[in-house]
Structure 1
């Protein structure tokens, strides 16, 4: 019996620990959001647009409520729910709510409303619910309006089904005011046959709000997944065009130089043909690599690693970019040594990283800059750097420069980049390294990344 009891106790502890871990994991997912900056911007814009739709619904509802209350109180003289001395309260509530909604509508058209749609959401919600509570406080009564609350909760969950934390915050503030303020002041319910709060009332409000917030959370996650899927598809399509642009433009420059010669028959040297063939081979490798990366791994890069030298990869990239380097009158200092330790990396993907960093330095800086490429062992990794003495990058740009579509206003002289640096980060992370940037405006930029050394 003792052994059986101990086994049951251990089983119960194991089940309890598993449940606790599952609940903690779900709770952390709710509290800590990993939404991308692009999705957050889209969600705020979506919320702002839906707030405009909310005004179109709220004003007719308030007008109908105002007309109905006036008809019941002043024409039919039905005041069985309201005391005779407070019958004017319904009319005042509707007028004040309409006024504050007009103020919110005015702010909706301003820059503040576009920038802070969450704050405007709370203002609209409080205009529909909390103002009634404040008026009741001044009149010395507690107003329990379950019908109005339910209509407001349902409407905001249907019209604006994003940012569930805002929905939960608005509900908690309303319930906190109703229970807390009225309990402290000792007010009784306006409908005197009902107590201020009951267990049934708490359970009803809890499950009603829970269902509304759950619907908002589910829709928000569905929209995020769809948004990220489309974003990944855009990354895949843009990566192909971006990565193939450099070798194709290099070939175009070679052909243009050949056409400028006066000879009717152009003699092409074996060196030029070799360069064209190498560029075409890299194009084919890039297409295959990108297709595999998108097909097999939605968010990531599939690698075909082998022992390679960093200097070999850089020399090959500089060879491809030589026409652009000459065109920009750029001075390149290649300080890479052939004696550096070998790394285990995908040569095609690593070429993409160096090609993006070097070509971005050429495209987003003035002519005649100095470009320095070096690498040094640091413990179990190699630190690679691509430095330039160009226009530099502000600290705000450095924080977001590796995100997709982060660009400056001037594509020629501003260093804010779009796709290339995002791809660089994905490739380096897939290799088990890190990537970053150090820069100051007017001094230049240093892009660095680390790669593991072969043991």
Structure 2
């Protein structure tokens, strides 16, 4: 039962992350503003063609046929239809001229242009129907709202506002002024009202949900494209700088009897730069292999306290070089874990290396672990400068990464610090892949100036697939 509850909680958490609103970047806002203007131009042109087709069908075919019927008092006479479509054409043409004349719009003017399209296509016809004591039928005209959502699949709030104004005007005509729908018998009014209400509210809800999810996908795709551009720049920067430095050192080597002499300090710089290149290349290859083939685990029963102590001893020279300290605080009475030792070692190495390289010298790193339910909760904490990108801490007691911290584990993410080595972002991505392969979770808590705590959970029972 607790296992099923945990699965349900995990599913709900991931579902909320998938539908939670994303904060668009400034670049996306600028792109969206241009996109809406271009699509409004296209939508106005298509609507003008649609209205012209409507003129031909109604004035040329339907109106003459209705005048020959026994009920010549039908509302859709040629005069009414001409007034109807002329008003629409004037509204659409005016909107089109404004869009063509003004290349740049502020957000409020873009919204007004969007709403003016809805007004020209839907509100003007309804007002004309009200002038003759009728309520406009919704079936055909609501297609324009669908066209609007298909061609302009952004700003779901604007779509909701235009739909609310349209439905509100229909409701005023129908319930306040009691203007009946055109040519609907009295006995059918109530069933028609109920059916239309359910159908159109459902249609509008699905339309707005589709626009919301599609724009969320657009925002995510735009951010990934931006990350790819930053990644290409980062790779060229991180690989080019060591090569450039090495070439400068080699070109300036002192000459002695025709042979170049390499001082020890120059040789150390060359070795250090090539080691950085090798770390980056290996991280890129490892991330690609994990992405395409997944992580293959070779689990075995492991004493976490012994493993962490070994890792701390192995990394001591690296930490000591930066005047730091590693303090293993793993209790020796922890149950044995069924984990892949090499992969778990990589997680600890990446997190400790991050703490050393991304903080000022003298950082203190504490390694802790405790049993919590069916998991062992492990932490790697430091007293460094904290992570600027995290806007808030996860809720206390949660064992799922918050949305604010989820992006730090994305591949190639380096946060706001563009000078941060690229392999650090790759390392966090690899850590997430390894922990999730063990059916655990990973997250981070941080406060500026107070330090950072990376945490991850490992199941007590090795119920993951190798």
The TM-score range, normalised by the shorter chain, is 0.5 to 0.7
Q: Report how far residue 157 of structure 1 moved.
A: 3.5
Q: Report how far residue 29 of structure 1 moved.
A: 5.9
Matches for 1:76-95 after TM superposition, within 5 Å: 78=67, 83=74, 88-95=79-86
Distance 1:183 1:24 in 2: 43
Query: Which residue of structure 2 aligns with residue 450 of structure 1?
Result: 451
- TM-score if structure 1 supplies the norm length? 0.59
Task: Quickly say closer, same or farther: Cα 1:296–1:252, change in 2 above 3 A.
Answer: same
Match of 2:451, SS?
strand
Matches for 1:23-62 after TM superposition, within 5 Å: 30=19, 32-34=20-22, 36-37=24-25, 42-62=31-51
Structure 2 residue ranges without an equivalent (≥5): 293-307, 329-347, 367-380, 388-407, 432-442, 456-466
Query: Which residue of structure 1 aligns with residue 114 of structure 2?
Result: 121
Match of 2:38, SS?
helix
Task: Say whether residues 1:65 and 2:60 are aligned partners.
Answer: no
Q: Report how far residue 286 of structure 1 moved.
A: 1.5
Match of 2:444, SS?
coil
Q: Report how far residue 278 of structure 1 moved.
A: 1.7
Task: Say whether residues 1:173 and 2:165 are aligned partners.
Answer: yes
Task: Quickly say closer, same or farther: Cα 1:433–1:176, change in 2 above 3 A.
Answer: same
Task: Quickly say closer, same or farther: Cα 1:85–1:168, change in 2 above 3 A.
Answer: closer
Q: Report how far residue 145 of structure 1 moved.
A: 3.7
- Larger mean CA deviation between 345-354 and 201-210 belongs to 345-354
Query: Which residue of structure 1 aligns with residue 247 of structure 2?
Result: 252
Task: Quickly say closer, same or farther: Cα 1:115–1:78, change in 2 above 3 A.
Answer: same
Matches for 1:56-455 after TM superposition, within 5 Å: 56-71=45-60, 78=67, 83=74, 88-109=79-100, 110=102, 113=105, 115=107, 117-149=110-142, 151-191=143-183, 193=185, 195=189, 198-210=193-205, 212-213=207-208, 215-216=210-211, 219-220=214-215, 223=218, 226-227=221-222, 230=225, 233-258=228-253, 265-296=259-290, 307=312, 338=323, 346=350, 349=354, 353=358, 381-384=382-385, 419-420=418-419, 432=444, 434=446, 450-452=451-453
Match of 2:261, SS?
coil
- Larger mean CA deviation between 192-201 and 176-185 belongs to 192-201
Query: Which residue of structure 2 aligns with residue 441 of structure 1?
Result: none
**Paired residue total:** 355
Distance 1:262 1:432 in 2: 55
Q: Report how far residue 54 of structure 1 moved.
A: 1.2
Q: Report how far residue 289 of structure 1 moved.
A: 1.8
Query: Which residue of structure 2 aligns with residue 366 of structure 1?
Result: none
Distance 1:22 1:450 in 2: 31
Contact 1:310 1:342 in 2 (8 A): no
Structure 1 residue ranges without an equivalent (≥5): 1-13, 299-304, 317-335, 355-372, 387-401, 405-415, 437-447
Q: Report how far residue 198 of structure 1 moved.
A: 1.7
- TM-score if structure 2 supplies the norm length? 0.58
Contact 2:129 2:136 in 1 (8 A): yes
CA-to-aligned-CA distance 1:11-48 (integer Å, 9 cap, x gap) = xxx99xx9999899968965x41254255554554433
Match of 2:383, SS?
strand
Distance 2:13 2:353 in 1: 42
Task: Quickly say closer, same or farther: Cα 1:294–1:384, change in 2 above 3 A.
Answer: farther
Task: Quickly say closer, same or farther: Cα 1:181–1:221, change in 2 above 3 A.
Answer: same
The higher-RCO structure (CA 8 Å, 6+ apart) is 2
Distance 2:36 2:384 in 1: 44
CA-to-aligned-CA distance 1:146-194 (integer Å, 9 cap, x gap) = 2121x21332233233444443443233112211454123333343536
